[in-house]
Structure 1
Amino acid sequence: MEATAIQRPLFGGAFSALLPPLIQDVSDLREIPDNQEVFAHAHTDQSIIVELLEYQGGMADPDAARYHFEDVATSNDAQGKVEIISVEPLPLAQLSLSSCCSAWALTGHQLVSKFNEQAQNTVTIHMALFRMPQYSTDLLVTFNHPVAIDPASSSAPSGSSDGSSPPWTQEDFHRLLCSFRLHDPGIFG
């Protein structure tokens, strides 16, 4: 396991980003769609998903961020409480991804059941939407951070933690977003 963040190639080296420590590539465990990179924290229920999605034209950028949040809620089978807390622009000057015309950060909450369980966990969703109309692409980066785990959930802790595996933070996510780079535009076809 990595002890520190590491610049990692994504989508076969077409992109790279500084990923947080204790990261596990989910594609080592199960099949992942070609338009996604999925990573899980080695010791928590946190995850980071990077997706290349169809550009949502015809809507304002903040509305596109909301659209993708709602789409993730549908994919997660989120029940009841699905709320957006904030949608704010990410300053382009802070980003390494120079090929995006705008970038937006969205924070929200979803009530999600894992593996079709009855138990529901409250998950804070931190998203970043990088808009790349020249490639007909919305690049979406999602950080799933469970904040309340139902005791009946399979995600409930089974024992005491020794504290040696700290969870990822918003700072880790921000570092990832600022470090995102495009190396090969050929990925867009």
Structure 2
Amino acid sequence: MQSAAGRADQPRPLFGGALSAVLPRGATDVSELREIPDNQEVFANSHTDQSLIVELVEYQGQVADHEAARYHFEDIAASNKALEPGSSGVSSVVALQKPDLLLSECSSAWTLTGTQCVSKFNEEARNTVTLHMGLFRLPQFSTDVLVSFNDPQDISPRSSSASATGSHEQLWTVQDFQQLLRTLRLHNPGLFG
């Protein structure tokens, strides 16, 4: 019999098996709880307010590879209404080395770390969230694969997220996120149409 830890390192199918990746322990498929757009796979930490989103977005050919992660970060900031001065910022953008990745079809890959001050469910209360992003550029499929790890740092006591406090052992780490990026693999290019 395989241990729970052994199962945690097994790749999990995404988008009906067209992609797969190793997800952090305790990742709950949000589509079992509410409707999710067809271009997204969303997972929540069952003990904390952390979440992961694997998203297929339109390839932005007008944006240089080294600026593409920042472009998507700003797009997410606009969606989260985190555009007020001081409510979002990028602290690093780093190229990933293709030999370290299983998604060999990408032309380039990048990680970005930034912070956004956002409200959940359009509440007035705002939470400070570290946003870790991985971006895989696939121009041959007119697609960027965007992986976002939302890691709340400061949750307002008035937020609906205020009760979501797991123990330190239950928190997902940047290493969990990096493992997901390294293990993301394409099985069926038909996913891109």
TM-score range normalised by the length of the shorter chain: over 0.9
Structure 2: how far apart are the matches of 1:6 and 1:42? 19
Unaligned runs of 5+ in 2: none
Which residue number corresponds to residue 87 of structure 1? Answer: 93
Which residue number corresponds to residue 175 of structure 2? Answer: 171
Unaligned runs of 5+ in 1: none
Alignment RMSD, CA only? 1.5
**Equivalent of 1:39 in 37, 43, 51:** 43
Superposition TM-score, scaled by structure 1 size: 0.93
Q: Is the 8 A contact 1:122 1:147 kept in 2?
A: yes
**Equivalent of 1:72 in 76, 79, 87:** 76
Partner-residue secondary structure (3-state), 2:136: strand
**Equivalent of 2:107 in 101, 106, 114:** 101
Which residue number corresponds to residue 124 of structure 1? Answer: 130
Which residue number corresponds to residue 188 of structure 1? Answer: 192
Q: CA deviation at 1:157?
A: 2.8
Higher mean Cα deviation, 126-135 or 67-76?
67-76
Structure 2: how far apart are the matches of 1:186 and 1:124? 33
Higher mean Cα deviation, 149-158 or 131-140?
149-158
Q: Output the amino acid matched with 1:144.
A: N
Structure 1: how far apart are the matches of 2:17 and 2:81? 32
Partner-residue secondary structure (3-state), 1:39: strand
Superposition TM-score, scaled by structure 2 size: 0.92
Question: How much identity, in percent, do the aligned residues show?
Answer: 61
Q: Is the 8 A contact 1:26 1:40 kept in 2?
A: yes
Which residue number corresponds to residue 139 of structure 1? Answer: 145
Q: Is the 8 A contact 1:6 1:21 kept in 2?
A: no
Give the 4+ runs in structure 1 shifted more than 6 A.
Answer: none
**Equivalent of 1:58 in 31, 50, 62:** 62
Q: Output the amino acid matched with 1:49.
A: I
